[in-house]
Structure 1
Amino acid sequence: MPAEIQPLETPQQKTGRWHLGALGDLLIVMAVLVGVKQSLLPFTYLYAGPASTTSAMIVATYLLWRRGSSWKALGFKWPESWWKIAALTLLSMVAFVAATGSMQFVADHFFEKVGTSGRFDHVEGNLWAYIGIMALVWTHGSFFEELLFRAFIIDRSSSFLGGGLRADLIAVLFSSVFFGYRHYYYQGIYGALVTGAAGLAFALIYIWVGRKNILPLIFAHGAINSLAQTLRYLGN
C-alpha cells in the first residue's frame, strides 16, 4: 500500500478524530453520483440514475481498495445465519412501510404527489421492459444503492466526523437527505421526502445491524422495488 494513503480505521481507533481522507472519499463518490446523472439526464431519463450508481460503485470500490479495505468491512459479507437475515429483511420492510407511510401522511397535506413522472410507464404490459427493469432493481436499485447510500456514505461521513454515536446519527441524517435528493428529479418534493424517510429508516438499521451484514437491507430494498414494478407491469 502506498505510504501516503491512510488506511481505514476501526470505529474504536477513529472515535474523536477528524478523518480528512474520509471526507475526500465521500466528496469524490458524491461528485460521481451527481455529475454522471446530471450529464446523462438530457439523453436518458431511465438510465441516468443506474449509470451514476454503476460509475460510483467502481470508484468507491477503488477508494476502499487503496485504503486496504473492501465492501466486506462495511457489511457486505456471507451471513452466519440465513434465518437471521430473513428476519432482519422482514423487519427492514416493516420499517420501510412505517417510515414512508408516516411521511406520506404529512406530505399529502403540503405537496402534490407526482408519482414517478412517467419514468416507468413503458413497463406496464411489456414483458421485456419488465425483465429489464427487474435487472435494474436487483443491481442499481438494491445492491448499488444500499452499498453506496448506506454503507459507503454513512461510513465515510461518520469517519470524517470522528466516529461515535453522534457522528453516526449525523451521517444517517446526511445520507437520508442525499438519498431523498437523488429521487427529486422524477418524483418531485413529495417523492423526495418519502424516499428520504425510507432512507432514514434503512440508515438507522444500517448503524444498528447493517455494519455486521447489510444483506437484509439489500434484500428488503430489492423486494420492495420488485413488488412495485410487478404491480406496474400488471397495470395496478
Structure 2
Amino acid sequence: MKTKIYHTLTRSYVVVLVMLFAPLLNYFDRNFSFFFGLSIVALILWSSNYNWSLFGFTKKLTKKTIFKSVLLTLVLILFDNCVGIIVQNYFGEPDLSSIDVEGNTLNYIIFLVIIWTIVVFGEEFLFRGYYFKWLAKFLGNTKKAWFFAGIIASIYFGISHYYQGISGMITISIISMLSAFIFYKNRNNLWILILIHGLHDTWGLTFLYLGRSSPIKQLFEQLLLN
C-alpha cells in the first residue's frame, strides 16, 4: 500500500492537481488549503520512507548555512522594504490586522513560536520544497522550467496571502521571486530558505510589536517617497 501511494503521489502531474484543488478549500477556511497541501507532502514523505532529499533536505544544517542565511536575510529585508514601499504607494498598506502583537508580549511570543514551527518550516517545505521544486520537474527540470516554475509558485504563494489585501499579495509575490532564485541556487539545501524566512518574519514581527517602522523602511521611505 505504501509503495502504491508513493507511485501515485509522485507522478509528475499530481503537483499541478494539488495546486489547483488546494485553493478551493479556502471556501471553508483559509488554513485548509495550506494543511491539505502539507498533508500530501507528509504522505509522500511517509511513503518514501522519509526520503527528505525529495524536498531539498540533502545537506545538514551547518554554521556555513546559518551564516549564509543571515547575509541573504539582510538582502531580502532590503529588497522587501524597497518593493513594499513602492507597492504601498499605489495600493495602500497591506492588511496585517490578523497579526495582533503591538505592545502585547504574550501574543508576540506566541506568534514567534508559530512562525518558527508551522509557518516557516511548513511554508518552505510546501511552497518551495514541493510546489516549486516539483513543478519545475513537471515542466522539464531545465533552467527555463525552473524560471517559469519560480514565477508561478511565487504568485501562488502571494495569492495564498489574500487576507493581507492586494498590496500584501503583490509584495509577497515579488519578494518570493527572490526567494525562488535563492532556492534555485541552493535547491539541495532547503534549510537556507527556512532560516531566511524565519529571520525575515521575526524582523517584521518585532517592529509590529514595537509599533513602529524599522530604520530600513524609514530610510527607503525618505529615498523613494520624498
Which category of TM-score, normalised to the shorter sequence, fits these structures?
Answer: 0.7 to 0.9
> Cα–Cα, structure 1 residues 215 and 95, in superposed 2: closer, same or farther, change >3 Å?
same
| Aligned amino acid, residue 196 of structure 2 | A
Task: Quote the Cα distance in structure 1 between the aligned partners of 2:202 and 2:194.
Answer: 12
What is the TM-score with the length of structure 2 in the denominator?
0.80
Name the CA shift for 1:83/1:126 in 2 (closer, same or farther; >3 Å): same
Q: 1:189 aligns with which of 159, 166, 177?
A: 166
Partner AA of 2:39 in structure 1: I
- 2:122 aligned with 1:133: no
Q: Does 2:193 match 1:208? A: no
Aligned in 2, Cα 1:199/1:72: closer, same or farther, shift over 3 Å?
same
Deviations 1:1-58 (A, max 9, x none): 23992696xxxxxxxxxxxx222134225533x2444312xxxxxxx44x54344222
Q: 1:4 to 1:229 in 2, by over 3 A?
A: closer
Establish whether residue 172 from structure 1 lines up as the match of residue 137 from structure 2. no
Q: Which residue of 2 aligns with 1:39?
A: 28
Matched, 1:89 2:89: no
Alpha-carbon distance, 1:174 to partner:
0.6
For 2:120 and 2:58, the matched residues in 1 are separated by: 15
Runs of at least 5 residues in structure 2 that lack an aligned partner in the other structure: 213-226
8 Å contact from structure 2 (residues 58, 189) kept in 1: yes
CA–CA distance in 2 between the matches of 1:189 and 1:225? Answer: 19
Q: Deviations over 1:41-82 (max 9, x none)?
A: xxxxxxx44x543442222121344467733332225526x2
8 Å CA contact retained: 1:141, 1:225: no
Partner residue in 1 for 2:4: 2
- Counterpart of 1:101 in structure 2 is 81
Question: RMSD between aligned alpha carbons?
Answer: 2.6
Deviations along 1:81-120, one digit per CA (max 9) or x if unpaired, are x22212220232133124323423432442122341x111
TM-score by length of 1: 0.77
Kindly indicate whether the alpha-carbon contact (under 8 Å) linking 2:5 and 2:47 is maintained by their aligned counterparts in 1: no
Label 1:172 to 1:4 Cα distance change in 2 as closer, same or farther (>3 A): closer
CA deviation vs aligned residue, 1:112-146 (integer Å, no higher than 9, x gap):
22341x1112x223333222211210123211111
Question: Of Structure 1 and Structure 2, which has the larger fraction of its residues in helix?
Answer: 2
Paired amino acid for 1:229: L
- Structure 1: runs of 5+ lacking an equivalent: 9-20, 41-47
Between 1:164-173 and 1:107-116, the stretch displaced more is 107-116
Alpha carbons of structure 1 residues 3 and 101: separation in structure 2 relative to 1, 3 Å: closer
- Identity level (%): 25
Query: Residue 166 of structure 2: SS of its match in structure 1?
Result: helix
Q: How many pairs does the alignment contain?
A: 210
